[in-house]
Amino acid sequence: MADFFTACFHADTYEQVRFLRAGLNWRDDHTDRFIAALCLGALHGESHRSPNYFSNRMPRTISTKPAYSVRWWRKHGYIAPYRDAFGILRGMVDFRFRTPPPDNRGEIAESDARKATTAFPHLEGRVTDIITSPPYLDTTNYREDQWLRLWFLGEDPKSTQACDDGRHYNKTLYWTFLKEAWEGVAPLLAPQARIVVRIGGRKQSKEDMLDSLLMSLKDATGRDVQPVDDGVTTPVKRTQANSFRGAKASPTVEHDFCFIVS
């Protein structure tokens, strides 16, 4: 792992990153949370294209695996650039406050969707719209793909591996998981509510996904659920993360489905 960090960050930048990682109390402090969020956005990315990333060249969307990254940097002779993380953060804060923050306040909970009602008990029966993009079947394991950001948030880099309970790759476990997620939000739904779902995956047809979503929503809510239409399909752009991913390719299309629950 030491190999990875010395190749990923310039020595001085790494000191700053470690200082931020150790000092930001993002779970309890509002301001620290804001700064940590900015750090996560700048932690890694295409640093040959933008001066605002802390790392050696990496995709911004996913963190490539440590051994693979080191091999790739060595093969191409890519050296981590010196980046003043504090200066980058000051610039980002400045940019964000150029226009005043909106008056509306949102509420965010760090929670498993399956426990949404426990996280937002005061919203029971009041939620009119849910807009969500659940994990895609057979596409990726989010913990693995975000291991470097999870490390920044305090995890041991090794603990992010081997956390897969199978639901990302096994069709039955996947749909059981989604049904449990709908069960988690069902008590929050208003008498009439809309659920919008963006979903993709390589192994299931659009019709299959619509059917399975409809069935799992009906099962979980015990209410009448109607799709608004057949769903809107958009192609997935070939992003840098996709080319890095190799065999674990992203889906080629994504679908947006909308359901009315009454």
Ligand X SMILES: C[S@@+](CC[C@H](N)C(=O)[O-])C[C@H]1O[C@@H](n2cnc3c(N)ncnc32)[C@H](O)[C@@H]1O
Cβ 218 vs Cβ 177: under 8 Å? no
Number of residues located near ligand X, criterion CB under 6 A: 8
Answer yes or no: are the C-beta atoms of 19 and 36 closer than 8 Å: no
Please identify, among the stretches 39-47, 131-139, 223-231, 232-240, the one whose residues bind ligand X according to the rule CB under 6 A.
Answer: 131-139
**Distance of alpha carbon 233 from alpha carbon 135, whole angstroms:** 17
**Between 252 and 262, CB nearer to ligand X:** 252
Residue 6 as a binder of ligand X (CB under 6 A): the answer is: no
| Binding status of residue 248 toward ligand X by CB under 6 A | no
| Cα–Cα distance, 57 to 62 (Å, whole number) | 12
Q: What is the 3-state secondary structure (H, E, C) of 220-241?
A: HHCCCEEECCCCEEEECCCCHH
Determine the interface stretch with ligand X among 21-29, 39-47, 61-69, 132-140 (rule: CB under 6 A): 132-140
Segment 80 to 119, residues that bind ligand X, using CB under 6 A: 112-114
Q: How far is the CB of 44 from ligand X (least distance, A)?
A: 16
Provide the β-strand partners of residue 197: 132, 257
Stretch that binds ligand X, among 73-81, 129-137, 153-161, 239-247 (CB under 6 A): 129-137
Token pair recorded at residue 16: 């700053």
Q: Give the whole-angstrom CA distance, residue 239 versus residue 144.
A: 18
Q: Which stretch binds ligand X (CB under 6 A): 36-44, 52-60, 100-108, 130-138?
A: 130-138
Does 135 bind ligand X (CB under 6 A)? Our answer is yes
User: Should residue 133 be labelled a site residue for ligand X when binding is judged by CB under 6 A?
Assistant: yes
Site for ligand X in 26-55 (CB under 6 A): none
The yes or no reply on residue 142 touching ligand X (CB under 6 A) is yes
Rounded Cα distance, 70 and 80, in Å: 11
Q: Please identify which residue in the block is written with the tokens 């200066």.
A: 87
**In the complex, which residues of this chain contact ligand X (CB under 6 A)?**
112-114, 133-136, 142
